[in-house]
Amino acid sequence: MTAVLVQLAQLALALTLAPGLVGTLRWLKARLQNRRGAPAWQPYFELRKLFGKEVVVSENASWIFRAAPFVVFAAAVAVAALLPWLAVPTPLDAVGDLLVVVYLLLLGTFFLALAGLDPGSAFGGMGSSREMTISALAEPTVALAIFALALGAGSTNLGQIVARTMTNPGAALSPGHLLAFAALFVVMLAETGRLPIDNPATHLELTMIHEAMVLEYSGRYLALIEWASALKLLVFFALLGNLFVPWGVAVALTPGALALAVASLLVKLAVLAVAVAVLETRVAKLRLFRVPELLSASFVLALLAVTSSFLAR
């Protein structure tokens, strides 16, 4: 019973935290660029505003366009439900493992690309084609990086990977782990549309990817998509934080352990947010034709991660 409650609380925490994370990232970037910046809770106001607005849909759009926001949001929520945010093992461990998480995320991406193509606008089609190019290249890297983790833990189950790394702290410093972390970090930047690959700060730029796909959306549909993409960013941060540096995650469901878990989760998210904000301030956007090179570099890192966890055991 407690386990189910904790599970629900985790999911609620993730859903409420997601817009705040995006706001914090924007605020950090603004401070680093010597601007005052909107407060970190600004995305909550934006979501409320969007939910209250009228929806305008192109007359060429089919049911896919209307269904896509719900599919994208549902996929993101399902992924959030599977992750070990605060405590292991979670009751949903039996439902899905790392592979399910990755492919649920891809399902969301796929429907977003379909929705970009559906109304037949030039920008949407362009964004979808770019997004698919990038996810096709990022996909094998994610799978390989995860296999490197799974090989170390002997299981693809998220809860077990976390528990295994906690009992064997040396494994967190093994080259397989570090290389997989680097590979997954690059993929995270690509999948969530962060800077060297896509610029999250613009709405009208010929090189945009994510924004081009959602350009036709408005009102509550746009709100759902924005929330889902914030949740996706949070999910990737939590994957990086809790799978690779699992300390702080509660093993027993006591109030003290759970409070510690919440605190450590917030610290990990803050560290990752600062890292991404600094990176985004320092680097320029890559030319689209150099993105495959970056992604193949991260693929090689993931390949080495698998090799070293498989052969150097």
Site residues for other proteins per CB under 8 A: 170, 173-175, 178-179, 290, 292-294, 296-297, 299-301, 303-304, 307-308, 311-312
Shortest distance (Å) from residue 304 CB to other proteins? 6
Shortest distance (Å) from residue 48 CB to other proteins? 44
- CB nearer other proteins, residue 27 or residue 181: 181
Burial group, residue 69, by CB count within 10 angstroms (0-12, 13-18, 19+): buried
Task: Determine the residue type at 23.
Answer: G
- CB nearer other proteins, residue 160 or residue 174: 174
Shortest distance (Å) from residue 144 CB to other proteins? 10
- CB nearer other proteins, residue 148 or residue 215: 148
- CB nearer other proteins, residue 251 or residue 297: 297
Shortest distance (Å) from residue 295 CB to other proteins? 8
Shortest distance (Å) from residue 211 CB to other proteins? 26
Shortest distance (Å) from residue 233 CB to other proteins? 25
DSSP-based three-state secondary structure for 67: helix
Find out whether 84 and 159 touch, Cβ atoms under 8 Å: yes
- CB nearer other proteins, residue 204 or residue 312: 312
CA distances from 216 to 40, 192, 212, 295 (A): 26, 19, 8, 29
User: What burial letters (b/e) apply to 177-213, b meaning 16+ CB within 10 Å?
Assistant: bebbbbbbbbbbbbbbbbbbbbbbeeeeeeebbbbbb
- CB nearer other proteins, residue 63 or residue 289: 289
**Is the peptide bond prior to 246 cis by the omega test (within 30 degrees of 0)?**
no
User: What burial letters (b/e) apply to 289-306, b meaning 16+ CB within 10 Å?
Assistant: eebeebbeebbebbbbbb
Number of neighbouring beta carbons within 10 Å of residue 40: 18
- CB nearer other proteins, residue 1 or residue 284: 284
Shortest distance (Å) from residue 18 CB to other proteins? 32
- Per DSSP, helices labelled H in the chain are 2-32, 42-52, 63-82, 98-117, 122-153, 158-167, 175-191, 210-213, 219-238, 244, 255-282, 291-311
String of DSSP letters for 224-269: HHHHHHHHHHHHHHHIIIIIHS-TT-BSS--HHHHHHHHHHHHHHH
Shortest distance (Å) from residue 294 CB to other proteins? 8
Find out whether 161 and 98 touch, Cβ atoms under 8 Å: yes
- CB nearer other proteins, residue 114 or residue 286: 286
